[in-house]
Structure 1
């Protein structure tokens, strides 16, 4: 029997996608389309336009007009608040439909919808949170430094036209993390979803329209990085690029931004460590860490703790708990409630992950379990069973490079200093986990780790907390006040109150 999701596509009445430019849904000027194949079955799911340079230019110019001549950047705060809260309500009201569209997009199972960071709830909460910043975009009034009778003040104003480029793995969270603060600040947006997760994003944009977003404020161009993404990040009338994805594309965006000094926010992945001490609940640490790289997204998450640094005294206990999770993960139809994890997003990523698994064994790591492809009804999909590696040296490729798949590398350590050295011995710095019941050790270690987010005995994404990385994990933060301010410019205003010369 061959696995199929075709009946779910028909039940959802999935329509082929269109571009949204200045409030009008339309095909690409060239007529070019992309056919999306489901990663679990290789079946053709639907088509959407490939926006070329002319389409992208039309979308950016629409956003430019909406910013320079439209009402959104200047509308009263209460109206922006009303719209953003309406978006949050509509997301919650349509959560079941959106989860189904995501399952048709990227194969993430419906069961993962109960995990907050992967749910529609986190998107709704993010819009609701940023609605609260709309009427708090204040500056400061400062006393004159040199004395005299004048006011010195600062104002926060929207940065302008934003190019928001989304990855495929977390469309709900990333859609909200980029659009909510941008819209709250008064910016206009050209949104490019991943070609591997467009249908759920297009539906969320329809909900934005239903909530009352004016024409031209949010525009959508679909298609791959070439030509669509390239035309967007290099467009001269884009003021800021917000991107989540690979480090190579992030570097390209930084280079492209130099020509017009675009502002950039980049989240570029990680090789995050989980550091496990003997005084922790070691079994829970093993199950949680292995779960982060296997359940739901099958390790295709930027902040997944794909390196486990485990004290030698509890090394075997950790491996046993991790193997139990690895061997129990279920795959299949993402609409089946018993399915716990997803396929890899495409055949290219499947081959990449299998290549890293081969490299791990070739370089001397011990493959405890997994790393093979399932057969039978799953053979047509991009599935690979979770790979657990022991006796890993931190210099190996599987310990240094972001694999973006269900692979956990377990490295032993002897004391805190060695754990810190190993944890920080990476080009990335997105996240880290600490497992200890010693509060002093937890804070001591958290201060020493070079990572943007450190979770102690657990890890969570929250709408009001900044999220981003050190080193090559990116630039800037998403979430909370820092995210809102990243979509603003700071202006200084001097106002004489007499005839003095400032």
Structure 2
């Protein structure tokens, strides 16, 4: 039986995507469009406008006008809270529709799209969380340092026009992690969804309008990195860039931001280790690590625990359980509740992942299972059987570079110091997992790991917690108070109170 997404497309009623500029939905100025092909079948699902330099300029200027002259940056606390809470309610109301759109966008199965961290619910919770900061993230007052009767205080003001650039793999969460604090702070936004996950994001923007967000506060430019993304990150009227994606693009954004010293927040991926110590619940550790590189996104997630550092005493047990978990995965129609894992997002990524698997074997790692393109009914899509590598040395390519696919590299270690050394031997530093029944060891190891988020015997994304990485995993944090403050500028105001000081 041949897979097809066309009936699902028609059932959802997918419509072609337009740009949103100053409150008006319209085609691109030159009529250019992008045709979206579904990663499970390569069928043409729909198309959307590709914003050129002229379109991006119009969108940024609309956001600039809304910031400089509009009501949103000057809205009362109650007005902003009301809009953001109404939007979170609309997200929950339309969660089924949005989850189906995501399955048409990137092939993530409905079963996974309903899991909290990947779901519409987490996006709604993020907006509710940041709505709660609007009346709490104030400034401070200070006493005079050198004497005299003075008043000194700080204020937080919105940073200005924000370019929010989304990845394709987690658009619900990242839409919320960027627009939630930006809108709560009073900023205006130009949103660029990934060209591989556009339709769900466009529908979320429509719901923002329904929630009462004024025209021009959020503008949308769709299209690929060139020309759309490049025109956005280099625009002189953009005050801040918030980006989630590849390290190569992140470095380009830093270069582009230098001309006008744009503020930059970015999350650029990871090579997260899972450290499994003797006495740990090995089955839980193996299921967690192998699950993050198979279930749902098939390893196409920045926080996936793609390196398993396993003590030699429990190494064989870990491999056996991991192999079982990989064999449990099911593939096919993402609208089928029994399907647990997705295809790779496009043919370029398919070739890239297969190349890494070949590289792993060439460098001497032992391929325990998988690592081939799936055939038969899956042959028209970008499906790869999960690859489990054993006897991996941490210096190997598959243990150092972010693969973004269903590949788990298992590295043996002998003691705690070696495990920590191996874990920190990476250019990344996004996340890590520690599996042990020894509470003292858990916190001792967590303190020594160079990573932004560490889970002990489990891991969960939470709306109120900071998320981001050390080293080349990015700059800044999303989530929590630190995210809200990242969309503000801190202003100091001083005034003498006595006539003698004037």
Contact 1:327 1:370 in 2 (8 A): no
SS at match of 1:278: coil
Which residue in 2 is equivalent to 1:494?
A: 494
Q: Cα distance, 1:453 vs. partner?
A: 0.2
Residue number in structure 1 paired with 2:170: 170
* 2:126 matches 1:139: no
Native 8 Å contact 2:192 2:221 kept in 1: yes
1:323 deviation in Å? 0.2
Q: Does 1:345 align with 2:354?
A: no
Structure 1 residues 320-352: Cα deviation after superposition (integer angstroms, max 9, x where no partner): 000001112111000001100000000000000
Alignment pair present for 1:389 and 2:384: no
Q: Residue in 2 aligned with 1:452? A: 452
Residue 465 of structure 2 corresponds to residue 465 of structure 1: yes
Give the TM-score normalised by structure 2. 0.99
Report the equivalent of 1:115: 115
Give unpaired runs (5+ residues) of structure 1: none
Question: Which residue number in structure 2 is paired with residue 209 of structure 1?
Answer: 209
Change (3 A) 1:52 1:500: farther
Q: State the partner residue of 1:48.
A: 48
When normalised by structure 1's length, the TM-score is 0.99
Q: Which residue of 1 aligns with 2:151?
A: 151
Partner of 1:136, secondary structure, is: coil
Q: Secondary structure at the match of 2:175?
A: helix
Contact in 2 for aligned 1:28/1:52 (Cα 8 Å): yes
Partner of 1:271: 271
Deviation at 1:187, TM superposition (A): 0.2
In structure 1, distance between residues paired with 2:283 and 2:74: 54
Residue correspondences, number: 502
Aligned-partner Cα distance in 2 for 1:501–1:472 = 49
Render the CA deviation track for 1:193-216: whole Å, top value 9, x for unaligned: 000000000000000000011000
- Aligned position for 2:285: 285
The alpha-carbon distance between structure 1 residues 316 and 34, as it changes in their structure 2 partners (threshold 3 A), is: same
> Do 1:327 and 1:369's aligned partners in 2 also have CA atoms closer than 8 Å?
no
Whether contact under 8 Å (2:114, 2:120) holds in the other structure is no
Residues 77-115 of structure 1 deviation map (CA, whole Å, 9 limit, x = unaligned): 000000000110000000000000000000000000232
Identify the residue that residue 484 of structure 1 maps to in structure 2.
484
1:315 aligns with 2:307: no
In the other structure, the counterpart of 2:419 is 419
Mapped contact 2:267–2:474 kept (Cα < 8 A): yes
Between the aligned partners of 2:114 and 2:59, the Cα distance in structure 1 is 35
RMSD (CA atoms): 0.6
In structure 2, what is the Cα distance between the partners aligned to 1:415 and 1:137?
44
2:106–2:169 contact (8 Å) kept in structure 1: yes
Q: Say whether the 8 Å CA contact 1:273–1:432 is kept in structure 2.
A: yes
Paired with 2:294 and 2:450, the residues of 1 have a C-alpha distance of 25
The answer for the alignment partner of 2:194 in structure 1 is: 194
Partners of 2:408 and 2:125 lie apart in 1 by: 31
2:300 aligned with 1:303: no
For 2:382 and 2:476, the matched residues in 1 are separated by 33
Aligned residue for 1:341, secondary structure, equals coil
Q: CA separation in 2, counterparts of 1:272 and 1:146?
A: 49
C-alpha distance in 1 between matches for 2:304 and 2:4: 29
Asked whether the equivalents of residues 99 and 114 of structure 2 are also in contact (C-alpha less than 8 Å), the reply is: no
Please tell me whether the aligned partners of residues 148 and 500 of structure 1 are also in contact (alpha carbons under 8 angstroms): no
Aligned partners of 1:235 and 1:463: how far apart in 2?
30
Alpha-carbon separation, structure 2, partners of 1:329 and 1:434 = 24
- Cα contact 1:149–1:500 (8 A) shared by 2: no
Are 2:64 and 1:60 equivalent residues in the alignment? no
> Unaligned regions of 5+ residues in structure 2, if any?
none
CA distances 1:355-394 after superposition (whole Å, capped 9, x unpaired): 0000001100000000011111110000001000000000
Determine the C-alpha separation between the residues in 2 that align with 1:47 and 1:374: 28
